[in-house]
Chain A
Amino acid sequence: MNCQEGMEYMQRQLDGDLDERESEALISHTRHCQQCAAMFERLQLLSAGLENLPKVTPPYSLVDAILPRLAELPAAEAVRAPVGERTQKQAERVVPVKRWTDRFSMRAFGGVLAAGVVVGLFLVTYQPDGAAKNDASLFDASSANMAMDSGKQSSSSESQSAPDDSEQNADEEVSTSSADRNTSEPEERAIEPRSKSIAGNDSGGSGSTDKGSVESDTYYVGEKQEKDPEAEAEAEPSQGKGNSPNYNFNITKDPSQESESAGNNGNVEEQMDAIHKQGILGETKNPQDESLSPDENYKAVVVQNELHVYHVADNKLLFISDPVSGGVGAIVWAADSKTLTYEARSDNGTVQMVVVDPEAGTSQVQSP
């Protein structure tokens, strides 16, 4: 045995990998080779040192530390949860999903790049002499829409990614349209009658400040649906429910949506928005019914056989009704806006009148 072989034998001996014959060969080698004997001794010392390294334990229970995060994860994966339960959970959810940055960077970057290429192509190929910047900005908006449409088309075959795509495109629209504002907003305002709503958004400025929370919320929805085998069927409720947490998000999108819903007020635009999306996603659901309270403090929205009541000022979801099997009928607000009454139709044709107190978040079946 030479020293190189000896070294391998020593190493294997440390792991208990030598049979009897091999051990003997090693011993007889180290007996004659002082170098190897010394090396073996040091290796054994090292090995003993490694074996005796302290079996460290964490200073606190890691499982306890992550329990709150784990509690959120099943919600994100609750693909099999009943619809009503899930929409309610979604409504309450505002916590960002951990890895949204990973998803965001790649997808959003791709989307922005695509939009940039379209805009760039336009700028290169189309150079009118006196054509106002305004045209360019209109194009920006419509190209963002195109990008959104193509995103949706590609995703409609693969419904799981649809919410992500629309979200990402929404982001991209936001950036595109805010770029517009920087460059051409005054002209837009002067020339375009419908730029009024943009101006309103700009001065309000709430769109950009709320963007963070809106993003995280929609990412959450996207994440959830990605894992949802019924994503397509579910797209509508989450969209409808999106009127609450995503209210600002919709507003932020207005500049690009306005070409389709010119001249409408916020609520109708939202509706159009929702219808528009449903159309693209191939949804056949009915458009949502909305009813604003007389003092305009509350808004009642019918979302898939449930009545949701929001506080208009902060879009807080105040009330969700039990699912109504036969659909929600006429919604009537009390004159003082403190209560509203809706018709709950059951499958067998009976109609109940239910009175809702939005502030209290309660409802009561009205005795006939």
Chain B
Amino acid sequence: MVEPGLIKAAQAGDGDALISLLREIENHVYRTAYYILNNEQDALDAAQEALIRIYTKIGSYEEKAQFKTWVQRIVTNICIDKFRRNKPTISIDEHDMVFRDSHTVEEEVLSAYAVQDIRKAIDKLPEHHRAVVVLRYLQDFSYNEIADSLDLPLNTVKSYLFRARQQLQTYLHDYQKGGVRG
């Protein structure tokens, strides 16, 4: 949590305060970029761009928004822009959303998913679903905070998060089954 006093000082033109502020948020900014873009180099670029933007726009931050959601809005916007430039958009509707594995319930031994597998699965999600998941799990944001950050209605946030989780679960489950049997 960033000290409100530090933000005020930075906004008032205290350069050192602004730099300290950036240092406090740089890991958060990077983490979001890393999991949305799923690539270290892109994440480094996007996070630096976001920090520069925060540096230049600090004056436009208004206290009515939470600072952390303001920051995450900046970084997710940059990431989504980058993401759009890098990859063709896929709609989640194109993927199979049906539960199709009910017959295997009993024989399955559930084990924790590997980090790499989760990242691969996240990488298959459309941009906004991905951003919602990242804010929920990597930034520990509430529905409302996600809605503020992404400028989305609350219900949309929930529906994105639910569908994303369902989708991830399907990918991972299929993957795990494939791994066990194949």
The chain A residues found within 8 Å of chain B, CB to CB, are 7-8, 11-12, 14-15, 17, 34-35, 38-39, 41-43, 45-59, 61-63, 65-67, 69-70, 73-74, 77
A53 lies within 8 A of B138 (CB)? yes
Contacting residues, chain A, for B165 (C-beta < 8 A): 11, 14, 43, 46-47
In the bound complex, CA of A45 to CA of B110 (Å): 8
The chain B residues found within 8 Å of chain A, CB to CB, are 15, 19, 22-23, 26-27, 29-31, 34-35, 40, 43-44, 47-48, 51-52, 55-56, 99, 102, 105, 108, 110, 112-113, 115, 118-119, 133, 136-138, 143, 158, 161-162, 165-166, 168-169, 172-173
B168 lies within 8 A of A58 (CB)? no
Contact among A7, A48, A62 for B30, CB-based, below 8 A: A62
Q: How far is the CB of A52 from chain B (nearest CB, A)?
A: 8
Contacting residues, chain A, for B161 (C-beta < 8 A): 11, 15
Contact among B105, B115, B168 for A34, CB-based, below 8 A: B105
Q: How far is the CB of A57 from chain B (nearest CB, A)?
A: 5
B44 lies within 8 A of A8 (CB)? no
Q: List 26 A-B contacts (CB under 8 A).
A: A11-B162, A11-B166, A35-B105, A38-B108, A39-B169, A42-B110, A42-B169, A42-B173, A45-B110, A46-B172, A48-B112, A49-B113, A49-B172, A50-B133, A50-B168, A53-B115, A53-B118, A53-B119, A55-B27, A56-B30, A56-B35, A62-B44, A62-B48, A63-B19, A63-B26, A65-B48
Given contacts A47-B137, A58-B26, 16 further A-B contacts (CB under 8 A): A11-B162, A35-B105, A42-B110, A43-B166, A46-B113, A46-B172, A49-B172, A50-B168, A53-B137, A56-B30, A56-B34, A58-B27, A63-B22, A66-B48, A66-B52, A70-B55
Contacting residues, chain B, for A58 (C-beta < 8 A): 26-27, 30, 43-44, 47
